Amino acid sequence: KVYTDYFFDEPAFNTHDGGYVPLEEAKVPQQPLNVPPLLKPDKETATDTYYTVVAQTGETQFLPGAKTKTWGYNNSVLGQTIVFEKGKHIHVTLKNELPELTTFHWHGLNVIGPYVDGGCHAPVYPGKSSQIDFTLDQPAATVWLHAHPCPETAAQVYHGLAAMVLVKDEVEAKLPFPRNWGIDDIPLILQDRRFHENNQWDYRADYDPDGVQGPTALINGTVNPYFDVTTQRLRLRILDGANRREWRLHFSDDLAFTQIGSDGGIMPAPVKLTKLMLTCAERAEVIVDFSQYKPGDEVTLYSDDVPLVRFRVHQFATDETQLPEHLVDIADPTVTPGLPVRKVVMSGMDEEVMIDGKKFAMQRIDARQKVGDVQYWDITNTNTMNGGMVHPFHMHGTQFTVISRNGHEPYPNEHGYKDTVGVNPGETVRIKVKFDLPGLYMYHCHIIEHEDGGMMAQILAYTAADPNPSYKLMDMDTM
């Protein structure tokens, strides 16, 4: 079966927003797609890996003429790609060479909150560094690193502070997937920006409380990219790294592709699609098979009707690999008896956005859940004004599973682990949540301006041994 729709509610697509900024095809020559290189460890032993991640300022040539002032991780913009191996002890030095405070948030990693997780309570001041250590116990996945100082997350991500992070494990390594980085395994970090005079970005000038958008698509920081296809199968690790934009992806000729992964890892079964919509912060891993094309052909990836990437087909060796019908097992723990369903309500738009009728407060703990307990959470989006909008609900510190949408089956590509789920207006999405590690974790809408605007809350995952841990929490004055 091949699915041919975007699943989400069409009247809620961002194209209907009053402030929608349509993408425009950039009028610059095609350029080779930038593939952020893999970050070299400082040191590696059989059991431990050491990295240094530097948040730095820089200048990037996106367009002919002036370079753009940007921020990045070990790079002028975005970042080098960081690889973590499951089970290894990871040590990361976080260095802040920016002129302001930042934090390093590992979106999608199951690490202890709030400091290692890198949300707003883990500041690294300008000119300073800090050190984190963790051991990952989660399946192979495509996750990411981004800045998260509240309420400056949106501005810092817009400046370029976002990088892809790959978790590797032995289960994924045995599956017949392409995995030659930059050749047949490539990232597609999807973002949009507006270039002002002298090719500069101007976050404040473009500010919109419902999310900043720009007319120019940037893919891994490349305007109008092409990619040379030299293998029959290509694995794309797609990340919606935009502040607000939804991407409705499809290829020329309605070429079908196979989704193999979602936010938290490989899906239990591959799903064939011709269309794929991603909301902010969501990831999808897909395999595209070019067998029906010959050298000289070009296959275009679009969002709505705007070309994003042109895949130039070259000679490739025949590849007859068949994907198994079953890829990985997804844990399905039973809900802990006696726990009520937790209700979370996302409401409003613009400056009115809230969770459970409240704005985020850094020093307020909104909810508690015991480590190891399994609880249903019902996430409701009450924002139905003028068709409403899809709010991408994100949780730190865990990967959840999607149980239902308004009591119906989740979308066919939502059977794997997720950390972000798009909730349609008037809809309640039931998810199953379990924390494996204690800590304080944020949950919020991932339209980043909504999160900065207060559509965010935090939960304490506690243990019986330490039911009331105390954390040093930031407040707005110390930021």
Instruction: Please give the residue ranges that form the binding site for ligand C2O (CB under 6 A).
Output: 105, 107, 119, 146, 148, 281, 394, 396, 442, 444, 446
CB of 226 to Cu ion, least distance (A): 32
Radius of gyration for the alpha carbons in the chain, expressed in angstroms and rounded: 21
* CB-based contact 211:450 (threshold 8 Å): yes
Gap between the Cα atoms of 47 and 133, Å rounded? 13
Nearer to Cu ion, 12 or 445 (CB): 445
**Binding of Cu ion at residue 355 (CB under 5 A)?**
no
Nearest C-alpha neighbor of 53 from the set 156, 132, 141, 113: 132
Nearest residue relative to ligand C2O (C-beta): 107
Q: How far is the CB of 404 from ligand C2O (least distance, A)?
A: 24
Contact region with Cu ion (CB under 5 A), list: 7-15, 94-102, 431-439, 440-448: 440-448
Q: Number of helices and strands (H, E) in the chain? A: 3, 33
Residue 327 binding Cu ion, by CB under 5 A = no
Residue 119 or 270: which CB sits closer to ligand C2O? 119
Given Cu ion, ligand C2O, none, residue 248, with its beta carbon under 5 to 8 Å by kind, binds: none
Residue 442 binding: pick among Cu ion, ligand C2O, none (C-beta 5-8 Å cut-off by kind): ligand C2O
In the complex, minimum distance from the CB of residue 108 to ligand C2O, in angstroms, rounded to a whole number: 8
Contact indicator for 139, 171 with CB cutoff of 8 Å: yes
Q: Which residues pair with 249 in a beta bridge?
A: 276, 303
**Closest separation in Å from C-beta 243 to Cu ion:** 11
C-alpha atoms less than 13 angstroms from C-alpha of 69 in its C-beta half-sphere: 10
Contact between 294 and 429 under an 8 Å Cβ cutoff? The reply is no
Indicate which of Cu ion, ligand C2O, none lies near residue 355 (CB less than 5 to 8 Å, by partner kind). Answer: none
Does residue 446 belong to the site contacting Cu ion (CB under 5 A)?
A: no
Least separation in angstroms between residue 391's CB and Cu ion is: 4
Alpha-carbon gap, residue 108 to 300, rounded angstroms? 29
- 250's contact among Cu ion, ligand C2O, none, with CB below 5 to 8 A by partner kind, is none
Closest separation in Å from C-beta 379 to Cu ion:
12
For residue 450, the partner it binds in Cu ion, ligand C2O, none, with Cβ less than 5 to 8 A by kind, is Cu ion
Name which of ligand C2O, Cu ion, none residue 391 binds, using a CB cut-off of 5 to 8 Å depending on partner kind: Cu ion
Q: Does 447 bind Cu ion (CB under 5 A)?
A: yes
CA dist., res. 225 & res. 375, Å (int): 44
Task: Work out whether 391 is an interface residue with Cu ion (CB under 5 A).
Answer: yes
Q: How far apart (Å, rounded) are the C-alpha atoms in residues 367 and 384? A: 26
Quick one: 148 or 159, whose CB is closer to ligand C2O? Answer: 148
447 binds, among ligand C2O, Cu ion, none (CB under 5 to 8 A by kind): Cu ion
If binding is defined by CB under 5 A, does position 157 make contact with Cu ion? no
Is 145 in contact with 170 (CB distance < 8 Å)? no
Q: Shortest CA distance to 431 belongs to which of 452, 451, 416?
A: 416
* 15 contacts: CB under 8 Å, gap ≥ 6: 22, 304
SS (H, E, C) 92-115: EEEEECCCCCECCEEECCCCCCCC
Min dist. Cβ of residue 114 to ligand C2O (A): 11
How far apart CA 158 and CA 241 sit, in angstroms, is 9
User: With CB cut-offs between 5 and 8 Å by kind, which of Cu ion, ligand C2O, none does residue 189 bind?
Assistant: none
**Residue 146 is a binding residue for Cu ion (CB under 5 A):** no
What's the closest the beta carbon of residue 446 comes to ligand C2O, in angstroms? 6
| Smallest separation (angstroms) from ligand C2O to the CB of 71 | 16
Which partner, ligand C2O, Cu ion, none, binds residue 233 by CB below 5 to 8 Å per kind?
A: none
Shortest spacing between CB 27 and Cu ion, in angstroms: 32
Q: Which residues have CB under 8 Å from 46's CB, separation 6+?
A: none
Q: Which of 299, 281, 158, 284 is nearest to 221 (CA)?
A: 158
Q: How many residues bind Cu ion (CB under 5 A)?
A: 6
**CB closest to Cu ion, residue no:** 445
Q: Among residues 396, 418, 434, 444, which is the contact residue for Cu ion, using CB under 5 A?
A: 396
Q: With the CA atoms of 51, 57, 62 and 66 taken in that order, what torsion angle do they form, in degrees rounded to the nearest 10?
A: -150
- Asked if 445 is part of the footprint of Cu ion (rule: CB under 5 A), the reply reads yes
| CA dist 303 → 22, 35, 46, 288, 448 (Å) | 11, 20, 43, 16, 20
Residues forming the site for Cu ion (CB under 5 A): 107, 391, 396, 445, 447, 450
